Structure 1
Amino acid sequence: MTDTLSQQIPTNLQNILEIARPIAWGASDILRSYYRGEPKTGDLNIEEKKGGPVTAADLAVNHYIVAHLQQAIDDEDFGYLTEETYDPRTGKLPQSWVWIIDPLDGTRDFIDKTGEYAIHIALTYQGKLVLALVAIPEAEKLYYATLGGGTFVETADGSNTQLQVSTRSNLEDLTLVASRTHRDDRFDALLKRLSLTKQKLVGSVGCKVTNILEQNADVYISLSGKSAPKDWDMAAPELILTEAGGKFTHVDGTPLRYNHGDVSQWGCLIASNGHCHDTLCSEAEKLLAELDKD
């Protein structure tokens, strides 16, 4: 592989996407079998850890994705940054190409049987997102995007449809998609002061962003507190959103960074359909400054 991104995208990304799509579908099948308690997969073996619960399903799907990618793409230029194998002592991975993987986004929703869980698979080149897949197993849908290639949704029957975010541009018309549980008083205070009265409660980041892609919502806000979302929470959802016309940035408008040593995405992150993004960021930044003074 050469070191010029522009030379890689036209051919190699499409080839890699053709490899990754069936892997994402296979991972979805594994998660659904665990979700339904099918005998062949066994017990969930739930462990409560510092960062949240981990199940046998998380570990099985992580192994499946990484093993199949490594088998199909036997190239030392590719690194793997996954939720289940990440070691903070490792720091930034040295490879030019890095897979960022969350085998089960929304583990709590998976355990609680809300159906709102997802699989995230993203590929970066020198820290830049270039390919992403977000699978929603219970909906039997796979959302995928390549840099400059748009966002598509594939259904179980094999049909593919290109997606675009909504064109809603007035703040009062926008619907915010938010978590049921990952929120605190500061976050609730921010939402109360923003001009976003319509809210939709959805689990997992992948499900939230795909709601924006399906035009069922327009805005998602993440505000870190004692902890923060990680690279694998945001990477794949970011690219499928931006390639469909949306925006995903820090509240000050700066882009998200990946594989730079600290996997925590601290601060306030805003994802939107893009039409009011700058206004939303400006308003949220001002309100957060006021809340921090109180």
Structure 2
Amino acid sequence: MKDLQDILKITRQIGWGAAEILRSYYNGTAQYPDLDIQYKQNEPVTVADLAVSQYILTQLETALGNQDFGYISEETYKSQQARNTHDLVWIIDPLDGTRDFINKTGEYAIHIALVQQTRPILAVVVVPETEKLYFATKGNGTFVETANGTSPIKLHPDKKIEDLTLVVSRSHRNEELEYLLEKLPCKNQKAIGSIGCKITAIIEQQADVYISISGKSAPKDWDMCAPELILTEAGGKFTHFDGTPLQYNTDDIHQWGGLLASNSQDHEILCQLAEKTLGSSK
């Protein structure tokens, strides 16, 4: 198997290529720009999702093969078994924030993560409309790559808990989450589309906290995996409300329950408040 840094270099190149494809659809310059929007389980899927999924999978498999790696993509996982039996598994979201892509908010992203057993060891998150690619490997920190070069990112939170800004969804909200947000001491809110863009907003210190509470549905592995590693390697935290780490490539691709991502400031306090508040509301 190739060295992890060599694999990261390949993944970054693939990330930029995927961003170019998405932007061609977003800007209407693709050869066949019609998005042909379909709905599966009330979630939109476009030809852009499918084209980028095929591109990422083909590029990774060509470069790295199938012997050492398994592959799980949002657009292909139903044709696979839920849990891949490889020790190393790629978890891919070719277009995180499809609704925002369709609605032209610019808040969509590409997630590519490599998981060893159940935890991420490599991650790339690309935000095409800001022309930024964030990457991390376990234990080596987080970096942002632009046309001007590459820079390390490290969080240095220094706010009071009541001054923290929550980054929230425009579309995926439920009564339980609304109730919790009312009870937390931090009242500032910033609405952003995709989860990748929410987490990069925390990394860029434009927001501080993101909360997910599953309702009838839940986020999937590919929503959280790459964003988690780029956040935690920058100094942030991303856990369940009870403090346990997220697990990926298990027998269930859903991330059920309450999840909290933060710049690390008051993370445990906010988790405890969330558990106590939701426990008392039932």
- The Cα offsets for residues 147-184 of structure 1, whole Å up to 9 and x where unpaired, read as 00100000123x11111124134211211101011101
What residue number does 1:34 align with? Answer: 25
What residue number does 1:70 align with? Answer: 61
Mapping 1:56-205, distance limit 5 Å: 56-87=47-78, 90-157=81-148, 159-205=149-195
Measure the CA separation in 2 of the matches of 1:278 and 1:51: 34
Measure the CA separation in 1 of the matches of 2:198 and 2:191: 9
Q: Secondary structure at the match of 2:113?
A: strand
What residue number does 2:222 align with? Answer: 232
Measure the CA separation in 2 of the matches of 1:205 and 1:240: 12
> Does residue 259 of structure 2 align to residue 251 of structure 1?
no
Measure the CA separation in 2 of the matches of 1:206 and 1:274: 17
What residue number does 1:286 align with? Answer: 276
The one-letter amino acid paired with 2:88 is: W
Are 1:28 and 1:137, in contact at CA under 8 Å, matched by a contact in 2? yes
Q: Secondary structure at the match of 1:87?
A: helix
CA gap of 1:133–1:267, structure 2 versus 1, over 3 A, is: same
Are 1:168 and 1:174, in contact at CA under 8 Å, matched by a contact in 2? no
Are 1:169 and 1:276, in contact at CA under 8 Å, matched by a contact in 2? no
Higher mean C-alpha displacement, 246-255 vs 42-51: 42-51
CA gap of 1:81–1:51, structure 2 versus 1, over 3 A, is: farther
What residue number does 2:253 align with? Answer: 263
Measure the CA separation in 2 of the matches of 1:14 and 1:113: 34
**Residue in structure 2 matching 1:18, options 9, 13, 28:** 9
The one-letter amino acid paired with 1:29 is: E
For structure 2, which runs of at least 5 residues remain unmatched after alignment?
Answer: none
- The Cα offsets for residues 129-163 of structure 1, whole Å up to 9 and x where unpaired, read as 10000000000000000000100000123x11111
Q: TM-score, normalised by structure 1?
A: 0.93
The RMSD of aligned alpha carbons is 1.2
Measure the CA separation in 1 of the matches of 2:95 and 2:261: 21
Measure the CA separation in 1 of the matches of 2:74 and 2:82: 14
- The Cα offsets for residues 19-72 of structure 1, whole Å up to 9 and x where unpaired, read as 111100000000000001114143101001105000000000000001001111
Measure the CA separation in 2 of the matches of 1:170 and 1:186: 25
Measure the CA separation in 2 of the matches of 1:45 and 1:88: 22
Offset, 1:87? 1.7
For structure 1, which runs of at least 5 residues remain unmatched after alignment?
Answer: 2-10
What residue number does 2:201 align with? Answer: 211
Measure the CA separation in 2 of the matches of 1:42 and 1:85: 22
Measure the CA separation in 2 of the matches of 1:102 and 1:248: 19
List structure 1 segments (4+ residues) > 4 angstroms apart after TM superposition: none
Measure the CA separation in 2 of the matches of 1:128 and 1:271: 16
Measure the CA separation in 2 of the matches of 1:52 and 1:152: 32
The one-letter amino acid paired with 1:278 is: E
Offset, 1:128? 1.8
Q: Secondary structure at the match of 2:89?
A: strand
CA gap of 1:98–1:51, structure 2 versus 1, over 3 A, is: farther
Offset, 1:291? 1.6
User: Identity rate of aligned residues, in percent?
Assistant: 59
Are 1:34 and 1:44, in contact at CA under 8 Å, matched by a contact in 2? yes
